[in-house]
Amino acid sequence: MTEDPRAPRDWSTQPPYIFADYKSTVLRGPSKPLVSLKQTLSERTGPVYGHEAIGSLDSDLTRNAAKDGEPLGERIIVTGLVMDEAGRPVPGTLVEVWQANAAGRYIHTVDQHDAPIDPNFFGGGRCVTGDDGRYRFVTVKPGAYPWGNHFNAWRPNHIHFSLFGPCFATRLVTQMYFPGDPLLELDPIFQATPEPYRDLLVSRFSIEVTEPGIALGYEFDIVLRGPSATPLEN
Amino acid sequence: MSSKQTPSQTVGPYFAYGLTPAQYGYGHTSAVQPVVGDDGTPGERIRLVGCVFDGAGDVIPDAMIEIWQAGGDGRYPHGDQVHGPNTGFTGFGRSGTGMGEPGEFVFETIKPGATEDGQAPHISVIVFMRGLLSHAYTRVYFADEADANDNDPVLSAVPPERRGTLLAQREDAGKTVIYRFDIHMQGDRETVFFDV
């Protein structure tokens, strides 16, 4: 089975490769124009992941690394739909997440931020979308943390997302932010996204997703490239 | 109803424990490995290695590379073919460049065959890193497949003076066949990146 060709990447919603305020882009973003590639079998196929690749606790970050208790922080549920541009669900696709702990510290060995590591929190998780395209994670709200981009720079609270979709051309890595975060307007990574589309990266609080007495709920839908036959403007 | 494509964001500096935890020794399993094919996979075993360089010519130690390729028979393990004769061959791999000097990505795989739709043997590549806001697509072709390369539709669409940036060079090191493919993000030797 081969997938239909995908609609082009919609560069109007995407950040540019070089965005001077985000200093690492200056020497790392491609500087020459991209060469157009007419999609072949290589782009219309892609890896397939089934539930066999996923452990039972992989989507619960409050439990997948617990040693002697629960991680500290505000417990949250993050869920949403993975869909194409026409709103059709993308079922059975791998969703991987990683994030800082509630104190704003990553478990990564390179992270030297002077905030505590949580012995009961790893920060990585994954799941596969259901037939309706929905994913769901239980975790704690990640903390903000400082970084070296400019004086007094802080990353807003965020969760990293990695998605595949049906083929190689639908790959996406992005970040989910939280509503009302005052750091968003100061963050060059968030701000690199064209202004009309920044809100696509911000989750929304949902009292319906919130579980009474357990955890606050946030919804974050993700739109991947759809088949090229999709009428984009109807 | 139509929706806009979700914007990409950088993978950041801390992807290793989330996306490549086994490779970096974090004690959790990885959904995707740098081993794409094993001894049971039909085809020629190869190791694909390379460094990623920034615009100052420095090696980038926190890049992540993903590859997608056909098997030695030119078929992709996609859809109905997933559980076909290529048992043990995933076609897909992921490797970070942060495992120490010299900052290489390393894939254990097999050399792909010409694909069913007549393309020269190649490996599709996605590049991620801190400082790259949107992932970049490129391709590995094989320098020792000159005839097939000359007839490849994608390679033919690349300006001739830049095609060399897409060619992996073969190095025979004992029993291991190594193909080296360095990626230059910028500069005179900037790798060709595709708008797929």
Please give the average pLDDT of every successive group of 10 residues along chain A, which has 234 residues. 86 98 98 96 87 84 95 98 96 96 92 92 95 98 97 98 96 98 98 97 98 98 87 43
In tens, the pLDDT along A77-88 reads: 999 999 999 999
Nearest to A166 by CA among A4, A51, A15: A4
**Interchain CB contact of B194 with A (< 8 Å):** yes
Question: Is B31's CB within 8 Å of A106's CB?
Answer: no
Q: Which of B2, B4, B5 to mutate to test the interface with A (most CBs of A within 10 A)?
A: B5
Q: Which residue of B has its CA nearest to A51?
A: B31
Could you confirm whether A160 is annotated as catalytic? yes
Characterise A104 by phi-psi region: left (phi > 0), alpha (psi -120 to 50), beta (else).
left
Name the least confident of A112-116, B6-10, B84-88.
B84-88
Find chain B residues with C-beta within 8 A of A193's C-beta: 7, 9
A6 is catalytic: no
Cβ contacts (< 8 Å) between B80 and chain A: which residues?
A: 1
Average pLDDT over residues B26-40: 87
* B19-27 mean pLDDT: 91
Single-letter code of the amino acid located at A32 = K
- Chain B residue closest in CA terms to A168: B68
Give the ipTM of the model, two decimals please.
Answer: 0.95
Give A112's contacts (C-beta < 8 A, 6+ positions apart). Answer: none
Residues of B with Cβ-Cβ distance to A233 under 8 angstroms:
2
The active-site residue, picked from A135, A145, A177, A218, is A145
Please indicate whether, in this complex, the C-beta atoms of A87 and B2 are within 8 angstroms of each other.
Answer: yes
CATH number of A65-92+101-234: 2.60.130.10
Catalytic hit among A75, A105, A126, A155: A155
Residues of B in contact with A26 (CB under 8 A): 55, 131
Confidence (pLDDT) at A189: 98
A145 is catalytic: yes
What is this structure's pTM? 0.95
Cβ of residue B5 closer than 8 Å to a chain A Cβ: yes
Interchain pair A10, B4: CB under 8 A: yes
Catalytic residue status for A17: no
Q: Domain spans of chain A?
A: 65-92+101-234
Inspect the interface and report whether the beta carbons of B5 and A37 lie closer than 8 Å.
no
**If you average pLDDT over residues B41-49, what whole number do you get?**
93
Contact indicator for B10, B131 with CB cutoff of 8 Å: yes
Closest Cβ–Cβ partner in B18, B90, B195 for A96: B18
The per-residue pLDDT for range B90-136, each reduced to its tens digit, is 899 999 999 888 899 999 999 999 998 999 999 999 999 999 999 99
